[in-house]
Amino acid sequence: MCRPRPQPVVLEQIETIAALRSRLTHGGAVGLVPTMGALHAGHVALIDAARRDSDLVVASIFVNPLQFNNADDLARYPQTLDADLSVCRDRGVDLVFTPSAAEMYPQPPECTVDVGRMADNLCGKYRPGHFRGVATIVLKLFQIVQPRFAYFGQKDAQQLAIIKRLTTDFNLPIGIVEVPTVREPDGLALSSRNRHLNAEERKIAVSLYVALTHAATMIREGARSAELIRRAAVDLVPQTAGLRLEYLEIVDPNTMQPLMEVDGPVCIAGAMWVGATRLIDNVLAVP
């Protein structure tokens, strides 16, 4: 389905749940783009996809404290609201929901979403509680906005798999739309955290993508032992100061569980510290 892009309108910024619900009373198809701000071309791809499918596009900008297990990481997360609103205006977003933490969590939540084993490895292993926070805020946004479609990038593969399972397990009538990862010309996945990289760090940051694509090439060429593929990919990551590979794993793209043998589509996912900046990436591979 492709809907014509509407004529430019005045962007509406809404800060309270009550006001947003009051505004969302018509019967058109609503597309939701949940973000934490610091918007870049990857977010633009999400917004553009929502604009094609939806009568009304809602973008949320909320740095969710519940998904940060490190207070310093939360404090360091970039917040660029004025620039973000400009991006939303330029791309035809109708409503931008910018609640405060007090609006979303008027009291510490007692009820959160238990994600289960899908959060046991990859990023979940190193960021305890992260995906509980992600699933909880996404469920809250779904309940508040009640969209027909919601848009998420493939770069956050574990998050995407968990949100898909969330909608299935809770019988949510929402279509989860995957949008391909947007990359720099050298392959580095766009991320709000990339702005923290200095010039030297930026040069070596692409090494994660190089390792992941090497593993995908091995699979296409017939390699089937996940461990042998993983080791070959890890060996390509430079042993240099300021760079530390946190993990590189080959998992089932739906369950995020590790695999011993490649006998179908797989997700090759990795996380790497470049200086003080943590970057994640993944590629899909089919034997």
Q: Residues 142, 268: one domain?
A: no
pLDDT, position 9: 56
CA distance 161 to 122: 12
pLDDT, position 10: 77
Q: Residues 165, 218: one domain?
A: no
Residue 138 φ then ψ, to 5°: -65, -40
- Considering the entire predicted model, what is its pTM? 0.94
Q: Choose, from 43, 130, 196, 214, the residue flagged as catalytic.
A: 43
Burial 211-232 (b: 16+ CB within 10 A, else e): bbbbbbebbeeebeebeebbeb
The reply to whether 68 falls in a domain is yes
Contact 210, 187 (CB under 8 A): yes
Q: Residues 251, 152: one domain?
A: no
pLDDT digits (tens, 9 = 90+) for 41-81: 999 999 999 999 999 999 999 999 999 988 888 998 999 99
Contact 126, 246 (CB under 8 A): yes
Instruction: Among 179, 202, 234, identify where a domain stops.
Output: 179
pLDDT, position 159: 98
Q: Residues 168, 36: one domain?
A: yes
Where in the sequence is the domain holding 102, given as residue range(s)?
A: 12-179
Q: Residues 160, 43: one domain?
A: yes
Instruction: Among 179, 210, 227, identify where a domain stops.
Output: 179
Count of domains in the chain? Answer: 2
Instruction: Among 179, 205, 222, identify where a domain stops.
Output: 179
CA distance 150 to 166: 13
The reply to whether 6 falls in a domain is no
pLDDT, position 237: 96
Q: Residues 163, 214: one domain?
A: no
Q: Residues 114, 17: one domain?
A: yes
Q: Residues 196, 148: one domain?
A: no
Q: Residues 167, 211: one domain?
A: no
Q: Per DSSP, what are the bridge partners of residue 285?
A: 266
CA distance 225 to 227: 5
The reply to whether 148 falls in a domain is yes
Q: Residues 114, 22: one domain?
A: yes
The reply to whether 2 falls in a domain is no
Sign of the torsion formed by the C-alpha atoms of 154, 13, 56 and 89: negative
Q: Residues 146, 280: one domain?
A: no
Question: Known catalytic residue: 214?
Answer: no
CATH code for position 68: 3.40.50.620
Q: Residues 166, 201: one domain?
A: no
pLDDT, position 195: 95
CATH code for position 261: 3.30.1300.10
The reply to whether 236 falls in a domain is yes
With a cut of 70, list the residues of the chain below it in pLDDT. 1-9
pLDDT, position 6: 46
Residue 223 φ then ψ, to 5°: -65, 140
